[in-house]
């Protein structure tokens, strides 16, 4: 029986990866790269597409490598213990804007982003695989998975809520009219926040590796074989679940990647309600808190419904209905609390299905072991991480692409090195932003509902 300390330790792993690094990468990076760092829309979209092709290779290879690791720390934990410091360091460097021209900035961003994806893979694939070797009790797997999601959403809540206040604390030069910070001040703010959050993420990752235990021994396939990869594509539950995983991250990815643009262009900047600053990170914080609560209720909800598959499907229905509802809210700051209310309702669905995804990956890993005779837990969980990165980054890339089509352009001046933003059709950009936060996710939620109906494992 796992202790509470171990469950909290396991939660710290996704608090670091999902609640800090991935949350900031999802919600801040599209705006950071185009409006602060100074990449063009095309460069930003291409960067995320290249990173995804990179992940298609590295994620399954990392899963296969993790399955064969043997050390005094176990099979998967050493990757967390030794990967913690590089994880935090590279994240910090990625939020630093060097004093380079367009080519130098492009090289810096591409190199650091690919390195971040590689180290994220090296840490997060073994982290996900831990769930398959800490316990063989299905109910306890659900509990670990629930702790994981609560940890991620709780840290995401803290990260996003603190973000605007930390930016204010760091401060910097204001624009001549005093309305906002200069781009140079924003670059300094993000660099300092990168160091702060990088240290916290490294500490959480290390604590997870040290506090968890591996109780089960995987049935190893000691020799590398491409047969394992071929077996994946004969595993129908894996195919359906991977598609579901990609779609859930498309759903979140569109919303997180575009929300900063929504506040800048649809709502005309931060919304002040008394002393509360509602910017794009605080806005999504309401959803994070809801996800944390309903992530904890997910095992209870699943028992009430009768199966993970049905619970997932009902949660996706909530996401579809509320996403459509958001589209009809007037594009006006005075409706901010109605927008918050709909985001909270959407997050009820996200919170309910998020823990189920990883618990279902454990079911797929057990199914594969029974069918093939050897463990491929790391390989299967790596596909979950790949789906996470693929869905989030491709959606971010598509957001950049669609905004470019609508009339948004950005870049770096070759002479001064300063970031330049040009909008040729403001109304078109605003309409596109609104749809990317509502209608596009609603379509994805509909696809999730269809996929869960045909998912073959009935647990």
Beta bridge partners of 273: 276
Q: Please give the Cα distance from 340 to 49 (Å, whole number).
A: 31
- How far apart CA 79 and CA 323 sit, in angstroms, is 38
User: For residues 77 and 90, what is the distance between their CA atoms, to the nearest angstrom?
Assistant: 20
- pLDDT tens for the chain, 459 residues: list them: 778 899 999 999 999 998 999 888 878 887 888 888 988 888 888 887 787 677 767 777 787 788 778 888 888 999 999 999 999 999 999 999 998 888 999 999 999 999 998 999 899 888 988 887 888 887 788 788 888 878 888 898 889 888 888 888 888 776 666 667 788 888 999 999 999 999 999 999 999 999 999 888 765 544 555 566 666 667 788 888 888 988 998 898 899 889 989 998 999 888 888 778 788 888 988 988 898 889 888 888 988 988 888 999 999 999 999 999 999 999 999 999 999 999 999 999 999 998 888 788 878 877 777 776 655 666 676 666 677 667 777 787 888 889 989 998 887 777 666 778 888 999 999 999 999 999 999 999 999 999 999 988 877
SS (H, E, C) 96-133: CCCCCCHHHHHHHHHHHHHHHHHHHHHHHHHHHHHHHH
Is-contact 73 213, C-beta < 8 A?
Answer: no
> What single DSSP character describes residue 175?
P
| SS3 state at 457 | coil
Cβ burial 416-432 (10 Å sphere, 16+ → b, else e): ebebeeebeeeeebbeb
Q: According to DSSP H, which parts of 407-459 are helical? A: 426-437, 439-454
DSSP string, 302-351: HHHHSSHHHHHHHHHHHHHHHHHHHHTS-SSGGGHHHHHHHHHHHHHHHH
User: What's the DSSP call for residue 407?
Assistant: T
Beta bridge partners of 278: 271
358: which 2 tokens? 């990883």
What CA–CA distances, in Å, run from 366 to 241, 306, 387, 455, 456? Answer: 14, 20, 19, 16, 14
Work out the end-to-end distance of the chain between its first and last CA atoms, rounded to an integer number of angstroms: 22
Which residues make beta-bridge pairs with 277? 272
Which pair of structure tokens corresponds to residue 134? Answer: 């800490």
Residue 129 CA to its chain's centroid (Å) = 17
The span from the CA of 102 to the CA of 39, in Å, is 7
154 near 351, Cβ under 8 Å?
no
- Reference 384, options 137, 145, 111, 202; nearest CA is 145
Q: Which positions ≥6 away from 43 have C-beta within 8 Å?
A: 33, 106, 109
Q: Report residue 185 CA to chain centroid gap.
A: 27
Output the pLDDT for position 221: 47
Quickly list DSSP for 242-261. HHHHHHHHHHHHHHHHHHHH
Nearest-angstrom CA–CA distance, 218 and 133: 7
Number of Cβ within a 10 Å radius of residue 275? 5
What is the token pair recorded at 156?
């995401």
Residue that the structure tokens 């092709």 belong to: 53
State which H helix or E strand residue 395 sits in: helix 377-406
Provide the pLDDT for residue 233: 66
């Amino acid at each position: 029986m796992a202790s509470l300390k171990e469950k909290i330790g396991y939660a710290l792993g996704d608090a670091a990866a999902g609640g800090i690094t991935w949350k900031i990468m999802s919600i801040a990076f599209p705006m950071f790269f185009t409006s602060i760092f100074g990449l063009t829309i095309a460069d930003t979209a291409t960067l995320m597409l290249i990173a995804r092709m990179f992940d298609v290779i590295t994620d399954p290879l990392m899963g296969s490598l993790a399955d064969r690791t043997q050390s005094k720390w176990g099979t998967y934990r050493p990757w967390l213990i030794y990967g913690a410091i590089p994880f935090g360091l590279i994240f910090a460097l990625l939020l630093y804007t060097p004093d380079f021209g367009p080519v130098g900035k492009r090289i810096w961003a591409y190199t650091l982003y690919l390195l971040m994806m590689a180290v994220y893979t090296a840490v997060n694939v073994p982290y996900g695989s831990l769930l398959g070797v800490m316990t063989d009790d299905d109910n306890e797997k659900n509990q670990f998975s629930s702790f994981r999601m609560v940890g991620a959403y709780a840290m995401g809540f803290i990260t996003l809520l603190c973000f605007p206040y930390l930016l204010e604390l760091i401060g910097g030069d204001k624009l001549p009219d005093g309305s906002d910070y200069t781009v140079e001040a924003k670059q300094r703010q993000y660099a300092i926040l990168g160091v702060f959050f990088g240290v916290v993420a490294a500490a959480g990752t290390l604590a997870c590796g040290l506090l968890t235990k591996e109780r089960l021994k995987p049935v190893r396939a000691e020799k590398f074989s491409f047969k394992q990869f071929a077996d994946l594509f004969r595993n129908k539950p894996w195919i359906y679940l991977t598609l579901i995983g990609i779609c859930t991250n498309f759903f979140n990815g569109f919303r997180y990647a575009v929300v900063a643009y929504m506040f800048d262009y649809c709502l005309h900047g931060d919304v002040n309600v008394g002393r509360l600053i509602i910017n794009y990170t605080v806005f999504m914080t309401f959803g994070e808190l809801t996800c944390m609560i309903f992530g904890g209720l997910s095992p209870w909800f699943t028992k009430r419904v009768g199966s993970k598959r049905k619970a997932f499907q009902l949660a996706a229905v909530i996401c579809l209905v509320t996403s459509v509802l958001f589209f009809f809210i007037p594009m006006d700051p005075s409706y901010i609390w109605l927008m918050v209310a709909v985001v909270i309702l959407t997050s009820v669905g996200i919170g309910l299905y998020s823990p189920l995804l990883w618990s279902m990956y454990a079911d797929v890993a057990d199914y594969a072991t029974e069918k093939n005779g050897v463990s491929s837990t790391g390989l299967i969980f790596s596909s979950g991480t790949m789906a996470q990165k693929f869905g989030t980054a491709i959606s971010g890339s598509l957001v950049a692409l669609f905004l470019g089509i609508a009339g948004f352009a950005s870049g770096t001046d070759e002479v001064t090195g300063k970031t330049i933003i040009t909008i040729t059709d403001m109304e078109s950009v605003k309409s596109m932003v609104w749809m990317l936060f509502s209608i596009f996710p609603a379509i994805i939620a509909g696809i999730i509902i269809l996929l869960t109906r045909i998912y073959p494992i009935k647990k």
